[in-house]
Amino acid sequence: MRRLRVVGIGCAPEHLTREAAAALASVDYVIAADKGPDDPLLAVRRALCEEYGVPLVAVPDPERDRDDPADYPRAVRDWHAARVAAYLEVLEERPGDAAFLVWGDPAFYDSTLRIAEQLAERTPLAVDVLPGISAIQLLAARHGLVLHGVGRPFLVTTGRRLAADAQTHDELVVFLDGGFRARELPGEWQVWWGANLGTASERLVAGALREVAEEVLAARAAAGAEAGWVMDTYLLRRCPG
């Protein structure tokens, strides 16, 4: 049975593990979403494929409603279904083993594994997963952090859920928060924030949330202007008292 390999590539080309590199070199081609002529993340994937001598098949990414749709889960499901249909065409046209290259690690806020599972339901595929260095790990390393207190949990959540989750958790790692909704939280918090981690446009900010919120917004804008894209995450820790 042909393989579909889901390869975590970390947050920068030098983060590729030996295992992930061997997986990339083993496939016949890579499938990647093409989000337009200036898609910088496609350029990273293309450069990796060229380095390992693997053809890249760029598939125009289906349109998605990103303007806070009323039924967010349905909007995501529809987008995933359109991606599955587009990728299935490639798999049916091309023999051999294929791969997806996932920024960071496939386990965190990425749709690739769900799409791979749906593809395997429609055509014979053996799906395997190669982990990558995640933005969570890199954020902690850049700030020299342990993400939780001694014997304490931390929650990984999104900007969309932050207000509710901050009512019940004291330490939260937040993804997918383009508006930096942490600014709206009551109480006193410390924040450790990072954008475009591992890249030339990386930005880091840390401090009391009320004092550095505007600095975070400015750094986010600067990272986006430099790179043409922004991926950021941050740790929030409630101040004692």
Domains delineated in the chain: 3-130 (3.40.1010.10), 135-238 (3.30.950.10)
Residue 22 has pLDDT above 60, yes or no: yes
pLDDT-wise least confident of 60-64, 88-92, 141-145, 183-187: 60-64
Q: Report how far residue 231's alpha carbon sits from residue 176's, in angstroms, rounded to the nearest whole number.
A: 8
Q: State percent of the chain over pLDDT 90.
A: 81
Place 71 in a pLDDT band, splitting at 50, 70 and 90. low
Q: Report how far residue 181's alpha carbon sits from residue 121's, in angstroms, rounded to the nearest whole number.
A: 38
Helix 18-26 and helix 40-52, axial crossing angle in degrees, nearest 10: 80
Span 172-222, pLDDT tens digits: 999 999 999 999 999 999 999 999 999 999 999 999 999 999 999 999 999
Q: Which residues contact 79 (CB under 8 A, 6 or more apart)?
A: 62, 64, 111
Q: Please return the burial class of 142, using the count of CB atoms within 10 Å of its CB with bins 0-12, 13-18 and 19+.
A: middle
Residue 75 has pLDDT above 80, yes or no: no
Q: Report how far residue 202's alpha carbon sits from residue 215's, in angstroms, rounded to the nearest whole number.
A: 14
According to the model, what pLDDT value does residue 66 have?
55
Q: State percent of the chain over pLDDT 70.
A: 96
